[in-house]
Amino acid sequence: MINIKTMLIDGMPLIGTGEPFSVINPATEDIICQCNMASTEQLDQAVAAAKRAYSTWRQTPDAERKRLLHEIADHLEQHADELASIIVQEQGKPLALAQIEVGAAVGWTRYTAELDIPEQVFENSDTRYTTAHRKPLGVVASITPWNWPLMIAIWHIMPALRAGNTVVSKPSGLTPLNTLRLVQIINEVLPKGVVNVVLGEADIGNAISRHIDINKVIFTGSTPTGQRILSNSANTLKRLTLELGGNDAAIVLPDTDINQVAESIFNTAFLNMGQTCAAIKRLYVHESQYEEMGKALADLASQQVVGNGLNPATTFGPVQNARQYRLVSELVEDARRNGGHIICGGEASSEPGYFYPPTIVSNVSKGVRLVDEEQFGPVLPLISYSEIDEAVRMANSCEYGLGGSVWGSDLELAEMVACQLECGTVWINKHAEVLPHIPFGGCKLSGVGVEFGVEGLLEYTQLQVINRHK
Ligand code: NAD
């Protein structure tokens, strides 16, 4: 059992007075913590605390805010082993990957600490001097998913703080413990009320997005929930950043050296057991190399050691929760029924735990659920094409637009193809690489706004123009 069940509101540990719920270890299906959701009154308390803290936090000098963010990074480093262990137990990923997640959380905190808002002068003429002032927004609510729970919480909280906002965080009820611990650690450094955390699911989520005293919601999660937040926020006209679902296509150009790209394709399709927003979710391969690619990926799949993430030999953990596990099984069965060929995997384990092996399915195309829907799990459909234009058309024939990639040695051709893809980021000979200095966000149903870099930081600010006449 992990004994971290208290929310933190105005620096005070509090047990939720709402519905009880259990946190499950996906590798064993054991209950590892019993928690309670917040009541709406407790959410109101958290928002009121954040609003009070805002009046001083917004005035805190820039240099001091930077220093405090670095101090938080120091504390996270001191607690790195503990945080990684919590992540493995509630999220399921192998320990080495959880350690990478904690390392990235520290790195992102330090990078964000050093980010500055550039000065902007619109006009400096004989008649006027017009400049941009970027002010914090007030109380920012962060709502996070269960796949990279710590890293995504950091992605939300750190730029909000850097820009002078205060925060109410609401983690996924499936993986709340690392965020509860994170906020405790943050509160060792920051004044009370600057960062608060509440537990809850849709009810608290709805109350957050309707709350009059919350000025922005930064949300990472599924598209239907993002749409709900958008409509709930209409009355208060909140600022929103919505990082939503994806169904990323990767196109392997003809004559690509399959041996050279297969491992990188495998690793980015199955990153975090495929539970990554910008993982490769559809792989388009030229008909002349279709079989070769299937074999190369199946070979890599066979090298994975599936098991409990706490076992050092494990390279492939369970799916995080029963619902996602059922969806993956269902999509594979549906593909099988519709003529899909299971090159490897395709059978769920009968042992306890939500284990599903890395699965590659060929002989599928648009119209099969595995291709059309976001699987968000360890199964990759391989789709054959004969003309590059056809591959681009198929890649774009999707309601999502998060990431995409083009693979091949002809970099000019790859770039031409990349420019035709309808998505927020296109990688060439890579996929799923997100970096703290490079903006990341989706188009179409994958979201609104960006995170990271200066563009990401500006989303936590309100532009005010000062127009001085001379
Ligand atoms: P989800 O939408 O089910 O839940 C996300 C969060 O929203 C959770 O904290 C949940 O409690 C909360 N929530 C539920 N109902 C709510 C409501 N009515 N109002 C406000 N909040 C509510 O998503 P998930 O299953 O946790 O995450 C998987 C999804 O997240 C996938 O679609 C994945 O692609 C997406 N994702 C996107 C990115 C990105 O950067 N674009 C990153 C990671 C995950």
What is the pLDDT at residue 351?
87
Kindly give the distance from the C-alpha atom of residue 60 to the centroid of ligand 1, in angstroms, as a whole number.
32
Catalytic residues: 243, 277
Tell me whether strands 461-469 and 128-136 are parallel, antiparallel or unpaired: antiparallel
What is the pLDDT at residue 93?
98
Widest CA span of the chain, in angstroms? 77
The helix or strand, by DSSP H or E, that contains position 223, with its residue range, turns out to be helix 223-232
What is the pLDDT at residue 349?
84
Beta partners for residue 195, in sequence order: 167
What is the model's pTM?
0.98
Mean pLDDT in consecutive groups of 10 residues from the start of the chain, 470 residues = 94 98 98 98 98 98 98 98 98 98 98 96 97 98 98 98 98 98 98 98 98 98 98 98 98 97 98 98 98 98 98 98 98 98 94 97 98 98 98 98 98 98 98 98 98 98 96
Amino acid letter, residue 171: P
| Encoded tokens for 199 | 């537990």
What is the pLDDT at residue 382?
98
The helix or strand, by DSSP H or E, that contains position 155, with its residue range, turns out to be helix 149-162
What is the pLDDT at residue 350?
86
Q: Where are the alpha helices (DSSP H) in 163-289?
A: 177-187, 202-210, 223-232, 258-269
Kindly give the distance from the C-alpha atom of residue 253 to the centroid of ligand 1, in angstroms, as a whole number.
33
Q: Do the beta carbons of residue 444 and residue 433 sit within 8 Å?
A: no
Give the span between the Cα atoms of 23 and 227, in whole angstroms. Answer: 26
Kindly give the distance from the C-alpha atom of residue 382 to the centroid of ligand 1, in angstroms, as a whole number.
26
Tell me whether strands 403-407 and 249-252 are parallel, antiparallel or unpaired: parallel
344: Cβ contacts below 8 Å, ≥ 6 apart: 297, 298, 301, 302, 357, 358, 359, 360
In this structure, the residue with its CA closest to atom 23 of ligand 1 is 221
Give the span between the Cα atoms of 176 and 170, in whole angstroms. Answer: 8
Q: List ligand 1's pocket residues with C-beta within 6 A.
A: 143-147, 170, 172-173, 201-202, 205-206, 209, 220-222, 225, 228-229, 243-246, 277, 374, 376, 402, 442, 447
Kindly give the distance from the C-alpha atom of residue 246 to the centroid of ligand 1, in angstroms, as a whole number.
12
Amino acid letter, residue 89: Q
What is the pLDDT at residue 88?
98
Give the span between the Cα atoms of 174 and 444, in whole angstroms. Answer: 27
Q: Which ligand 1 atom is at minimum distance from the Cα of 226?
A: 2
Amino acid letter, residue 90: E
